[in-house]
Structure 1
Amino acid sequence: MVPPLALDIDGTLTTADGRIDSRAFELLPGWDAPVVIATGKAFPYPVALATFLGLSPDVIAENGGVVHVDDETTLLADLDRPRAVVEAFEERGGEIGWGGDTTVNRWRETEVALSTDADEGLLRRVAAEVPGIEVVDTGYAFHVKSTDVNKGEGLVRAADRLGLDPESFVAIGDSENDVSTFAVAGDSYAVANADEAATAAADVVLDEGFMDGTASVLEALRDGRGPSR
């Protein structure tokens, strides 16, 4: 039997240039256990991905701010304080970035994401002035979010709704925001491109990066083998 999975998207199910790797569509449909997509992206993105993969849309979005399992959606944080931080950041001359692309934050309900081109120092100084707010660097964006939520707490909630122990999950990720997921999952794998925080927190650091690493774990689990380390 295969274990349930908690999978990040960016850097984990993608190629090095940010596309969803086609092997996700070969390995995940028909996975004979729950698959929870746990991401920093806004809620619609993991729901769409799960749907196109033919999976139940069980997702943790916005770094744990949104949990959707079994057609029930729970918002675990509000947008007011993150938005206020970003507004203050802009008033002090900071720019959100994204080249005018408004879709990055259009559907976010619990956090705000800024381009990694944004002034990180200024952003962190402004965020530090607001209790209960933090900036998480995923390598793809700076996420201004509540300290009360994270992917790991989201996985605990998702597992409970699915009637599973979070320790029964295998988690795969690449970034600082996956550390909390690694802490509650039974087995955790950091792909080779993972940042220092994820690498330090994972049970296993893989030799291969991006979907190459993820595929090696999924294939080994499917075939009853231990993933290469």
Structure 2
Amino acid sequence: MVPPLALDIDGTLTTPSGRIDPRTFELLPDWDAPVVFATGKAFPYPVALAHFLGRAETVIAENGGVAHVDGETAVLGDPAVPRAVVEAYEARGGEIGWGNGDTVNRWRETEVALSLDADEALLREVAAAAESRVEVVDTGYAYHVKSPDVSKGKALERVAEALGLAGAEFVAVGDSENDASTFGVAGESYAVANADATARDAADVVLDEGFMDGTEAVLAELRERGG
């Protein structure tokens, strides 16, 4: 028996250049336990990945702002404050940084993502001055302005309960500070070698291999354990 998985996407199921690693399509379609894709990307991205893998669309998107399980979608984050913070940031001359045709935020429901080229210092200054609480998360791929009341970990607890499982039954793999909360819920957690300091500190194990190389090593070990 293999355990259920909670897998980040960027930096975890991808190549260093950001492409989905082909091994994802070899290793995950037949994984004989639930697989939750938990990402900072907008909702359509993990849904599409699950769909093309032929798996149930069991996903966590927007760093816990949206969760989907058994055909039910829950929008858990309030976008009002994040959007107001980004508007104030832009009013002070800041730029979101994606250029024309911003598909990064087009389908985003609960937060706003800014390019790593954005003025981080100004963004954090504006966020700190906001009347309501807001959090800026650096995933290594974007700055996410979100409610601090949502996280991948809280969403995983919700998804696990809907599946009739405990969060501690999951094995989690990730690479960024937004995965630390997932690591705190899962019974076993791994940070790939390219992970940031927050993820490394939160994980049970820091792998020697990065990106999909590390994830593949975890999956191989879990299969071996499961017999």
Global fold match (TM > 0.5): yes
Could you say what secondary structure the match of 2:156 adopts? helix
Partners of 1:122 and 1:115 in 2: CA distance: 13
- Backbone CA RMSD of aligned residues: 1.1
Task: Say if 1:132 and 1:148, in contact at 8 Å, map to a contact too.
Answer: no
Could you say what secondary structure the match of 2:155 adopts? helix
Structure 1 residue 98 displacement after superposition: 1.4
Could you say what secondary structure the match of 1:81 adopts? helix
- C-alpha deviations, 1:28-61, integer Å up to 9, x for none? 0011100000000000000000111111000000
1:23 and 2:23 correspond:
yes
Could you say what secondary structure the match of 2:189 adopts? strand
Please name the residue that 1:158 is paired with: 159
Q: TM-score, normalised by structure 1?
A: 0.97
Partner amino acid for 1:97?
Answer: G
Please name the residue that 1:7 is paired with: 7
Partners of 1:100 and 1:218 in 2: CA distance: 39
Please name the residue that 1:207 is paired with: 208
Q: TM-score, normalised by structure 2?
A: 0.98
Structure 1 residue 20 displacement after superposition: 0.2
- Once structures 1 and 2 are overlaid, which stretch shifts more, 203-212 or 124-133? 124-133
1:60 and 2:60 correspond:
yes
- Once structures 1 and 2 are overlaid, which stretch shifts more, 126-135 or 14-23? 126-135
Partner amino acid for 1:24?
Answer: T
Partners of 1:186 and 1:146 in 2: CA distance: 25
Partners of 1:213 and 1:54 in 2: CA distance: 23
Please name the residue that 2:186 is paired with: 185
Give the length in aligned residue pairs: 226
Partners of 1:27 and 1:223 in 2: CA distance: 14
- C-alpha deviations, 1:59-109, integer Å up to 9, x for none? 000000001000000011121111110000000000000132410000000
Which runs of 5 or more structure 2 residues have no equivalent in the other structure? none
Q: How does 1:85-96 map to 2 (within 5 A)?
A: 85-96=85-96
Partners of 1:128 and 1:101 in 2: CA distance: 29
Partner amino acid for 1:177?
Answer: N
Structure 1 residue 5 displacement after superposition: 0.1
Could you say what secondary structure the match of 1:149 adopts? coil
Partners of 2:100 and 2:214 in 1: CA distance: 33
Partners of 1:100 and 1:7 in 2: CA distance: 31
Please name the residue that 2:172 is paired with: 171
| Identity, % of aligned positions | 73
Task: Say if 1:190 and 1:206, in contact at 8 Å, map to a contact too.
Answer: yes
- C-alpha deviations, 1:170-211, integer Å up to 9, x for none? 000000000000001000000000000000100000000000
Q: How does 1:35-184 map to 2 (within 5 A)?
A: 35-130=35-130, 131-184=132-185
Could you say what secondary structure the match of 1:171 adopts? strand
Could you say what secondary structure the match of 1:172 adopts? strand
Partners of 1:119 and 1:24 in 2: CA distance: 34
